[in-house]
Amino acid sequence: MTKVLIIAHGHPAISPGGAEIAAYQMFEELNRREGWEAIFLARRAPDAGIPIELVAGDNEFTVAAASDQFRFHNGDHTLLHKALPEFLRWAKPDVVHFHHYVNVGIEMVRAVRNVLPEARLILTLHEYLAICNHNGQMVRNGDLALCRRSSPSACNSCFPGTSPEEFFLRERFLKQHFQLIDHFISPSQFLKQRYVQWGLEADKISVIENGQPPAEPLPPRTQAPGETTRGRFAFFGQINPYKGIEVLLDAMALLPPEMLAPNGPISLSIHGSGLHWQTAEFQASVSAKVEKLSQAVHLFGRYHTEDLPGLMAGIDWVVVPSIWWENAPLVIQEAQKFGRPLIVSGIGGMAEKVLNMQNGLHVRPRDPRGLADIMLHAATTPSLWANLQKQMIPPATILQTIDLTIPVYAI
Protein backbone atom coordinates (compact mmCIF):
# COMPACT_ATOMS: atom_id res chain seq x y z
CA MET A 1 0.00 0.00 0.00
CA THR A 2 1.45 3.37 -1.04
CA LYS A 3 0.07 6.35 0.78
CA VAL A 4 -0.10 9.72 -0.97
CA LEU A 5 -0.80 13.01 0.78
CA ILE A 6 -2.15 15.57 -1.66
CA ILE A 7 -1.77 19.18 -0.50
CA ALA A 8 -3.80 21.74 -2.44
CA HIS A 9 -4.08 25.50 -2.09
CA GLY A 10 -7.86 25.28 -1.85
CA HIS A 11 -10.78 22.90 -1.54
CA PRO A 12 -12.78 22.73 -4.78
CA ALA A 13 -16.02 22.94 -2.76
CA ILE A 14 -14.97 26.44 -1.70
CA SER A 15 -12.65 27.54 -4.50
CA PRO A 16 -13.44 25.62 -7.71
CA GLY A 17 -10.38 26.59 -9.75
CA GLY A 18 -8.82 24.24 -12.29
CA ALA A 19 -5.87 23.30 -10.09
CA GLU A 20 -8.02 22.65 -7.01
CA ILE A 21 -10.37 20.44 -9.03
CA ALA A 22 -7.44 18.55 -10.56
CA ALA A 23 -5.93 17.90 -7.12
CA TYR A 24 -9.22 16.68 -5.70
CA GLN A 25 -9.89 14.39 -8.67
CA MET A 26 -6.45 12.82 -8.17
CA PHE A 27 -7.32 12.18 -4.54
CA GLU A 28 -10.64 10.51 -5.38
CA GLU A 29 -9.23 8.38 -8.19
CA LEU A 30 -6.18 7.21 -6.28
CA ASN A 31 -8.42 5.90 -3.52
CA ARG A 32 -10.20 3.75 -6.10
CA ARG A 33 -6.93 2.11 -7.15
CA GLU A 34 -5.78 -1.06 -5.51
CA GLY A 35 -2.54 -0.63 -3.61
CA TRP A 36 -2.98 3.12 -3.27
CA GLU A 37 -4.39 5.31 -0.58
CA ALA A 38 -4.73 9.09 -0.69
CA ILE A 39 -5.29 11.81 1.89
CA PHE A 40 -6.41 15.30 0.90
CA LEU A 41 -5.22 18.41 2.72
CA ALA A 42 -6.65 21.66 1.37
CA ARG A 43 -5.67 25.11 2.50
CA ARG A 44 -8.35 27.29 4.11
CA ALA A 45 -8.10 30.92 5.19
CA PRO A 46 -6.83 31.34 8.76
CA ASP A 47 -9.69 31.30 11.25
CA ALA A 48 -10.37 30.57 14.90
CA GLY A 49 -10.39 26.81 14.29
CA ILE A 50 -7.63 24.31 14.93
CA PRO A 51 -4.79 24.42 12.38
CA ILE A 52 -5.47 21.06 10.70
CA GLU A 53 -9.00 19.76 10.79
CA LEU A 54 -10.91 16.76 9.40
CA VAL A 55 -13.71 18.00 7.12
CA ALA A 56 -15.08 14.84 5.45
CA GLY A 57 -14.75 11.07 5.73
CA ASP A 58 -11.57 10.00 7.47
CA ASN A 59 -9.11 11.37 4.93
CA GLU A 60 -10.16 14.87 3.89
CA PHE A 61 -8.65 17.74 5.86
CA THR A 62 -8.21 21.48 5.72
CA VAL A 63 -5.23 23.45 6.97
CA ALA A 64 -5.45 27.08 8.07
CA ALA A 65 -2.55 28.80 6.35
CA ALA A 66 -1.57 32.12 4.83
CA SER A 67 1.42 33.29 2.85
CA ASP A 68 2.52 36.62 1.52
CA GLN A 69 2.20 37.04 -2.24
CA PHE A 70 5.80 38.00 -2.96
CA ARG A 71 7.88 35.07 -1.79
CA PHE A 72 5.03 32.88 -0.43
CA HIS A 73 6.46 33.02 3.05
CA ASN A 74 4.54 31.41 5.88
CA GLY A 75 6.07 31.98 9.32
CA ASP A 76 3.40 30.18 11.35
CA HIS A 77 5.36 28.46 14.10
CA THR A 78 2.44 26.49 15.57
CA LEU A 79 1.39 25.17 12.20
CA LEU A 80 4.77 24.27 10.75
CA HIS A 81 6.49 23.04 13.90
CA LYS A 82 3.60 21.46 15.81
CA ALA A 83 0.31 20.81 14.01
CA LEU A 84 1.81 19.74 10.69
CA PRO A 85 4.46 17.38 12.18
CA GLU A 86 1.77 15.80 14.36
CA PHE A 87 -0.47 15.35 11.32
CA LEU A 88 2.35 13.88 9.22
CA ARG A 89 3.32 11.40 11.95
CA TRP A 90 -0.28 10.25 12.00
CA ALA A 91 -0.69 10.16 8.22
CA LYS A 92 2.73 8.59 7.47
CA PRO A 93 2.58 9.28 3.72
CA ASP A 94 5.15 7.74 1.37
CA VAL A 95 4.52 10.49 -1.16
CA VAL A 96 3.57 14.12 -0.57
CA HIS A 97 2.20 15.80 -3.68
CA PHE A 98 1.97 19.59 -3.43
CA HIS A 99 -0.45 21.07 -5.93
CA HIS A 100 0.62 24.58 -5.07
CA TYR A 101 2.46 26.68 -2.55
CA VAL A 102 0.57 29.96 -2.90
CA ASN A 103 -1.22 30.77 0.37
CA VAL A 104 -0.02 27.44 1.78
CA GLY A 105 3.48 28.90 2.12
CA ILE A 106 6.69 27.60 0.53
CA GLU A 107 8.13 26.74 3.96
CA MET A 108 5.63 23.90 4.15
CA VAL A 109 7.88 22.00 1.76
CA ARG A 110 10.76 22.15 4.19
CA ALA A 111 8.55 21.46 7.20
CA VAL A 112 7.35 18.26 5.48
CA ARG A 113 10.90 17.30 4.52
CA ASN A 114 12.06 17.79 8.13
CA VAL A 115 9.51 15.28 9.43
CA LEU A 116 9.63 12.87 6.48
CA PRO A 117 13.23 12.65 5.28
CA GLU A 118 12.47 9.54 3.19
CA ALA A 119 9.19 10.63 1.60
CA ARG A 120 9.02 11.46 -2.07
CA LEU A 121 8.05 15.09 -2.57
CA ILE A 122 6.24 16.08 -5.76
CA LEU A 123 5.19 19.57 -6.80
CA THR A 124 2.82 20.39 -9.63
CA LEU A 125 3.73 23.70 -11.26
CA HIS A 126 0.76 25.74 -12.35
CA GLU A 127 1.44 29.29 -13.51
CA TYR A 128 4.88 30.93 -13.77
CA LEU A 129 4.51 32.07 -10.17
CA ALA A 130 8.03 31.37 -8.93
CA ILE A 131 9.44 33.11 -12.01
CA CYS A 132 7.16 36.16 -12.15
CA ASN A 133 5.83 38.51 -9.49
CA HIS A 134 3.03 39.65 -11.82
CA ASN A 135 0.55 36.95 -10.72
CA GLY A 136 2.89 34.41 -12.30
CA GLN A 137 1.77 35.47 -15.76
CA MET A 138 5.01 36.64 -17.32
CA VAL A 139 3.43 39.79 -18.66
CA ARG A 140 4.87 43.18 -17.82
CA ASN A 141 3.34 45.23 -15.06
CA GLY A 142 1.45 48.17 -16.58
CA ASP A 143 1.32 47.58 -20.34
CA LEU A 144 0.82 43.77 -19.96
CA ALA A 145 3.32 43.11 -22.75
CA LEU A 146 4.51 39.51 -22.97
CA CYS A 147 7.69 38.79 -20.99
CA ARG A 148 10.09 36.07 -22.07
CA ARG A 149 12.60 35.90 -19.26
CA SER A 150 12.85 37.15 -15.70
CA SER A 151 15.94 38.66 -14.09
CA PRO A 152 16.47 40.82 -11.01
CA SER A 153 16.86 43.95 -13.13
CA ALA A 154 14.00 43.14 -15.54
CA CYS A 155 11.66 42.46 -12.60
CA ASN A 156 12.78 45.68 -10.94
CA SER A 157 11.89 47.60 -14.10
CA CYS A 158 8.40 46.05 -13.87
CA PHE A 159 8.12 46.84 -10.15
CA PRO A 160 10.33 49.88 -9.52
CA GLY A 161 9.45 49.87 -5.81
CA THR A 162 11.18 46.51 -5.35
CA SER A 163 14.95 46.47 -5.80
CA PRO A 164 16.76 43.99 -8.05
CA GLU A 165 18.32 42.58 -4.89
CA GLU A 166 14.91 41.79 -3.43
CA PHE A 167 14.00 39.96 -6.63
CA PHE A 168 17.28 38.09 -6.45
CA LEU A 169 16.51 37.04 -2.87
CA ARG A 170 12.98 36.01 -3.84
CA GLU A 171 14.33 33.73 -6.57
CA ARG A 172 17.05 32.26 -4.38
CA PHE A 173 14.61 31.68 -1.52
CA LEU A 174 12.12 29.81 -3.71
CA LYS A 175 14.89 27.82 -5.38
CA GLN A 176 16.31 26.71 -2.03
CA HIS A 177 12.91 25.23 -1.20
CA PHE A 178 12.45 23.76 -4.69
CA GLN A 179 15.70 21.87 -4.11
CA LEU A 180 13.86 19.70 -1.59
CA ILE A 181 11.35 18.56 -4.23
CA ASP A 182 12.18 15.19 -5.80
CA HIS A 183 10.14 15.66 -8.94
CA PHE A 184 7.98 18.29 -10.61
CA ILE A 185 4.90 17.88 -12.76
CA SER A 186 4.08 20.46 -15.41
CA PRO A 187 0.76 20.40 -17.28
CA SER A 188 2.39 21.77 -20.42
CA GLN A 189 5.69 21.50 -22.26
CA PHE A 190 5.75 25.28 -22.55
CA LEU A 191 5.57 25.79 -18.79
CA LYS A 192 8.26 23.17 -18.30
CA GLN A 193 10.55 25.01 -20.71
CA ARG A 194 10.07 28.28 -18.85
CA TYR A 195 11.04 26.60 -15.57
CA VAL A 196 14.03 24.91 -17.18
CA GLN A 197 15.15 28.30 -18.52
CA TRP A 198 14.71 29.62 -14.97
CA GLY A 199 17.00 26.96 -13.55
CA LEU A 200 15.16 23.73 -12.77
CA GLU A 201 16.66 20.51 -14.14
CA ALA A 202 14.80 19.29 -17.22
CA ASP A 203 14.84 15.64 -16.19
CA LYS A 204 13.21 16.51 -12.87
CA ILE A 205 10.06 17.78 -14.62
CA SER A 206 7.48 15.46 -16.20
CA VAL A 207 4.82 16.92 -18.46
CA ILE A 208 1.46 15.43 -17.45
CA GLU A 209 -1.85 17.08 -18.30
CA ASN A 210 -4.52 17.47 -15.67
CA GLY A 211 -7.02 14.82 -16.72
CA GLN A 212 -10.73 15.49 -17.18
CA PRO A 213 -13.75 13.33 -16.49
CA PRO A 214 -14.54 11.69 -19.83
CA ALA A 215 -17.59 12.76 -21.86
CA GLU A 216 -19.08 12.01 -25.24
CA PRO A 217 -18.45 14.65 -27.93
CA LEU A 218 -21.55 16.63 -28.82
CA PRO A 219 -23.08 16.50 -32.28
CA PRO A 220 -22.59 19.65 -34.39
CA ARG A 221 -24.96 22.48 -33.59
CA THR A 222 -28.18 22.04 -35.47
CA GLN A 223 -28.26 24.77 -38.09
CA ALA A 224 -31.41 26.68 -38.96
CA PRO A 225 -33.08 25.75 -42.25
CA GLY A 226 -30.94 27.13 -45.05
CA GLU A 227 -28.09 28.15 -42.72
CA THR A 228 -24.66 27.24 -44.09
CA THR A 229 -22.47 29.35 -41.79
CA ARG A 230 -20.75 28.43 -38.50
CA GLY A 231 -20.94 31.84 -36.85
CA ARG A 232 -21.76 31.14 -33.19
CA PHE A 233 -18.71 32.01 -31.10
CA ALA A 234 -18.35 31.65 -27.34
CA PHE A 235 -15.99 32.73 -24.60
CA PHE A 236 -15.75 30.70 -21.37
CA GLY A 237 -13.84 31.65 -18.25
CA GLN A 238 -12.90 34.41 -15.88
CA ILE A 239 -13.53 37.90 -17.17
CA ASN A 240 -10.35 39.85 -16.45
CA PRO A 241 -7.90 41.88 -18.56
CA TYR A 242 -5.58 38.88 -19.11
CA LYS A 243 -8.21 36.69 -20.74
CA GLY A 244 -8.41 39.06 -23.71
CA ILE A 245 -12.14 39.75 -23.55
CA GLU A 246 -11.60 43.31 -24.77
CA VAL A 247 -9.64 42.09 -27.79
CA LEU A 248 -12.54 39.79 -28.63
CA LEU A 249 -15.13 42.56 -28.25
CA ASP A 250 -13.01 44.89 -30.38
CA ALA A 251 -12.79 42.16 -33.04
CA MET A 252 -16.58 41.83 -33.03
CA ALA A 253 -16.89 45.59 -33.53
CA LEU A 254 -14.59 45.40 -36.56
CA LEU A 255 -16.73 42.82 -38.37
CA PRO A 256 -18.98 44.07 -41.19
CA PRO A 257 -22.26 45.11 -39.45
CA GLU A 258 -24.33 43.12 -41.93
CA MET A 259 -22.54 39.94 -40.77
CA LEU A 260 -23.59 40.44 -37.13
CA ALA A 261 -26.74 39.04 -35.53
CA PRO A 262 -29.60 39.53 -35.72
CA ASN A 263 -29.28 40.27 -39.47
CA GLY A 264 -26.09 38.30 -40.04
CA PRO A 265 -24.83 34.92 -38.86
CA ILE A 266 -22.16 35.98 -36.31
CA SER A 267 -22.82 36.22 -32.58
CA LEU A 268 -20.80 35.90 -29.40
CA SER A 269 -21.85 34.41 -26.06
CA ILE A 270 -19.74 35.28 -23.04
CA HIS A 271 -19.94 32.79 -20.20
CA GLY A 272 -17.90 33.82 -17.24
CA SER A 273 -17.77 35.49 -13.89
CA GLY A 274 -15.47 37.80 -12.05
CA LEU A 275 -16.18 41.04 -13.91
CA HIS A 276 -17.37 42.66 -10.67
CA TRP A 277 -13.96 42.00 -9.04
CA GLN A 278 -12.17 44.04 -11.69
CA THR A 279 -11.36 47.75 -11.64
CA ALA A 280 -14.24 50.15 -12.28
CA GLU A 281 -12.41 51.32 -15.41
CA PHE A 282 -12.22 47.78 -16.83
CA GLN A 283 -15.86 47.06 -15.95
CA ALA A 284 -16.99 50.27 -17.64
CA SER A 285 -14.92 49.54 -20.74
CA VAL A 286 -16.24 45.98 -21.10
CA SER A 287 -19.83 47.07 -20.44
CA ALA A 288 -19.63 49.87 -23.02
CA LYS A 289 -18.26 47.49 -25.66
CA VAL A 290 -20.96 44.92 -24.94
CA GLU A 291 -23.60 47.66 -25.02
CA LYS A 292 -22.54 48.80 -28.51
CA LEU A 293 -22.90 45.26 -29.81
CA SER A 294 -25.95 44.36 -27.77
CA GLN A 295 -27.66 42.61 -30.69
CA ALA A 296 -24.73 40.27 -31.32
CA VAL A 297 -23.05 39.86 -27.94
CA HIS A 298 -24.64 38.33 -24.87
CA LEU A 299 -23.14 38.32 -21.40
CA PHE A 300 -24.36 35.28 -19.47
CA GLY A 301 -22.36 35.29 -16.24
CA ARG A 302 -21.21 32.35 -14.19
CA TYR A 303 -21.70 28.75 -15.29
CA HIS A 304 -21.20 25.39 -13.64
CA THR A 305 -19.36 22.40 -15.06
CA GLU A 306 -22.62 20.49 -15.49
CA ASP A 307 -24.03 23.35 -17.63
CA LEU A 308 -21.24 22.99 -20.18
CA PRO A 309 -22.73 20.36 -22.53
CA GLY A 310 -25.87 22.47 -22.90
CA LEU A 311 -23.92 25.67 -23.49
CA MET A 312 -21.49 24.07 -25.95
CA ALA A 313 -24.32 22.39 -27.89
CA GLY A 314 -25.55 25.76 -29.10
CA ILE A 315 -22.25 27.14 -30.36
CA ASP A 316 -19.69 26.42 -33.09
CA TRP A 317 -16.41 27.86 -31.89
CA VAL A 318 -14.70 28.51 -28.56
CA VAL A 319 -12.43 31.56 -28.56
CA VAL A 320 -9.49 31.81 -26.10
CA PRO A 321 -7.95 35.23 -26.85
CA SER A 322 -5.75 35.45 -23.71
CA ILE A 323 -3.02 38.05 -23.72
CA TRP A 324 -0.78 36.07 -21.33
CA TRP A 325 0.93 32.76 -22.05
CA GLU A 326 -1.55 30.52 -20.22
CA ASN A 327 -0.43 27.03 -19.20
CA ALA A 328 -2.99 24.30 -19.87
CA PRO A 329 -6.33 26.11 -19.81
CA LEU A 330 -9.29 24.05 -18.66
CA VAL A 331 -11.54 25.71 -21.26
CA ILE A 332 -9.41 24.28 -24.08
CA GLN A 333 -9.74 20.78 -22.64
CA GLU A 334 -13.49 21.23 -22.26
CA ALA A 335 -13.94 22.44 -25.83
CA GLN A 336 -11.88 19.50 -27.07
CA LYS A 337 -13.90 17.10 -24.95
CA PHE A 338 -17.20 18.29 -26.41
CA GLY A 339 -15.90 18.62 -29.96
CA ARG A 340 -15.88 22.37 -30.48
CA PRO A 341 -12.99 23.79 -32.57
CA LEU A 342 -10.97 26.55 -30.93
CA ILE A 343 -9.62 29.92 -31.98
CA VAL A 344 -6.74 30.76 -29.63
CA SER A 345 -3.93 33.24 -29.21
CA GLY A 346 -0.99 31.49 -30.87
CA ILE A 347 1.35 31.65 -27.86
CA GLY A 348 2.45 29.56 -24.89
CA GLY A 349 0.21 26.84 -23.52
CA MET A 350 -2.60 27.74 -25.96
CA ALA A 351 -0.43 27.21 -29.05
CA GLU A 352 0.77 23.92 -27.57
CA LYS A 353 -2.66 22.50 -26.79
CA VAL A 354 -4.39 23.73 -29.95
CA LEU A 355 -2.62 23.03 -33.23
CA ASN A 356 -3.18 25.59 -35.96
CA MET A 357 -5.28 24.24 -38.86
CA GLN A 358 -5.44 20.80 -37.23
CA ASN A 359 -7.90 21.17 -34.39
CA GLY A 360 -8.17 24.90 -34.21
CA LEU A 361 -6.92 28.25 -35.42
CA HIS A 362 -4.22 30.56 -34.11
CA VAL A 363 -4.42 34.33 -33.99
CA ARG A 364 -1.84 36.88 -32.91
CA PRO A 365 -2.53 37.95 -29.32
CA ARG A 366 -3.89 41.49 -28.82
CA ASP A 367 -4.75 41.79 -32.52
CA PRO A 368 -8.49 42.61 -32.90
CA ARG A 369 -8.16 43.09 -36.68
CA GLY A 370 -6.49 39.69 -37.11
CA LEU A 371 -9.04 38.03 -34.86
CA ALA A 372 -11.93 39.66 -36.77
CA ASP A 373 -10.53 38.36 -40.08
CA ILE A 374 -10.17 34.84 -38.71
CA MET A 375 -13.65 34.85 -37.16
CA LEU A 376 -15.18 36.01 -40.42
CA HIS A 377 -13.29 33.33 -42.36
CA ALA A 378 -14.18 30.68 -39.76
CA ALA A 379 -17.87 31.59 -39.77
CA THR A 380 -18.23 31.63 -43.54
CA THR A 381 -16.13 28.59 -44.48
CA PRO A 382 -18.25 25.62 -43.33
CA SER A 383 -15.72 23.06 -44.64
CA LEU A 384 -13.05 24.53 -42.37
CA TRP A 385 -15.21 24.03 -39.31
CA ALA A 386 -16.07 20.46 -40.37
CA ASN A 387 -12.43 19.54 -41.02
CA LEU A 388 -11.21 20.89 -37.71
CA GLN A 389 -14.10 19.33 -35.85
CA LYS A 390 -13.24 15.92 -37.27
CA GLN A 391 -9.69 16.19 -35.99
CA MET A 392 -10.52 17.16 -32.40
CA ILE A 393 -8.43 15.10 -29.97
CA PRO A 394 -10.13 14.48 -26.63
CA PRO A 395 -8.08 15.61 -23.60
CA ALA A 396 -6.43 13.19 -21.20
CA THR A 397 -8.79 11.58 -18.71
CA ILE A 398 -8.18 11.51 -14.99
CA LEU A 399 -7.39 7.80 -15.26
CA GLN A 400 -4.74 8.50 -17.90
CA THR A 401 -3.28 11.23 -15.72
CA ILE A 402 -3.04 8.82 -12.79
CA ASP A 403 -1.44 6.18 -15.01
CA LEU A 404 1.25 8.72 -15.88
CA THR A 405 1.60 10.11 -12.37
CA ILE A 406 2.02 6.79 -10.54
CA PRO A 407 5.45 6.14 -12.08
CA VAL A 408 6.47 9.64 -10.95
CA TYR A 409 5.42 8.75 -7.40
CA ALA A 410 7.38 5.53 -7.55
CA ILE A 411 10.70 6.61 -9.14
Partner 1 sequence: MLARLRRQDVFDSIDIARSSPVGDRVGFVAMLTLPPDARSVELMIGNGREQLMLSAPLRRLGANKADIFELIEIARLTENPAVFERLGPAIDDLVKSSPLPKAAVQVSEFGLSPVSPNVSIVVPLYGRIDLMEYQLAHFANDPEFKDVELIFVLDDPRLRNELEQRVEFLHALYRVSFRLILLGENLGYAGANNVGVAHASADTLLLLNSDVFPSAPGWLSGLRQSLSDLPGAGVVSPRLLFASGALQYGGMSFDRSRHGAPYILNDHPGKGLPPDRRTEPYPVQAATGACLMMPTALYREVGGLDQGYIVGDFEDSDLCMKLRSIGRSIWCVPSSVLYHLERQSLASIGEASLRQYLTLYNAWRHQERWAPAIEALADQWEAIG
Q: Which residues bind partner 1 (CB under 8 A)?
A: 75, 77, 80-81, 107, 110-111, 114, 151-153, 164-165, 167-169, 172-173, 176-177, 179-180
CB nearer partner 1, residue 177 or residue 337 = 177
Helices (H), 164-244: 164-178, 189-198
Contact 6, 99 (CB under 8 A): yes
DSSP 8-state code for residue 185: E
Least separation, in Å, of the C-beta of 80 and partner 1? 6
CB nearer partner 1, residue 111 or residue 374 = 111
Q: Which of these, 59, 9, 61, lies nearest to 37 by C-alpha position?
A: 59
For 142, list phi and psi in degrees, rounded to 5: 100, -85
Least separation, in Å, of the C-beta of 81 and partner 1? 5
DSSP 8-state code for residue 272: -
CB nearer partner 1, residue 113 or residue 340 = 113
**Number of other CB atoms surrounding residue 181 within 10 Å:** 18
Least separation, in Å, of the C-beta of 402 and partner 1? 31
Least separation, in Å, of the C-beta of 40 and partner 1? 24
For 316, list phi and psi in degrees, rounded to 5: -110, -45
CB nearer partner 1, residue 109 or residue 191 = 109
Helices (H), 179-258: 189-198, 245-254
* Pairing between β-strand 36-44 and β-strand 183-186 as defined by DSSP bridges: unpaired
Least separation, in Å, of the C-beta of 10 and partner 1? 24
Contact 397, 212 (CB under 8 A): yes
Least separation, in Å, of the C-beta of 135 and partner 1? 23
CB nearer partner 1, residue 165 or residue 291 = 165
Least separation, in Å, of the C-beta of 106 and partner 1? 10
CB nearer partner 1, residue 110 or residue 221 = 110
CB nearer partner 1, residue 70 or residue 300 = 70
Write the DSSP string, 26-76.
HHHHHHHSTTEEEEEEEEE---SS-SEEEEETTTEEEEE----SSS-----
CB nearer partner 1, residue 73 or residue 289 = 73
The CA R_g of the chain, rounded to the nearest whole Å, is 22
Alpha carbons 214 and 122: distance in angstroms, whole number: 25
How distant is the alpha carbon of residue 58 from its chain centre?
A: 29
Please give the single-letter amino acid code of residue 269.
S
Least separation, in Å, of the C-beta of 167 and partner 1? 8
Contact 255, 249 (CB under 8 A): no
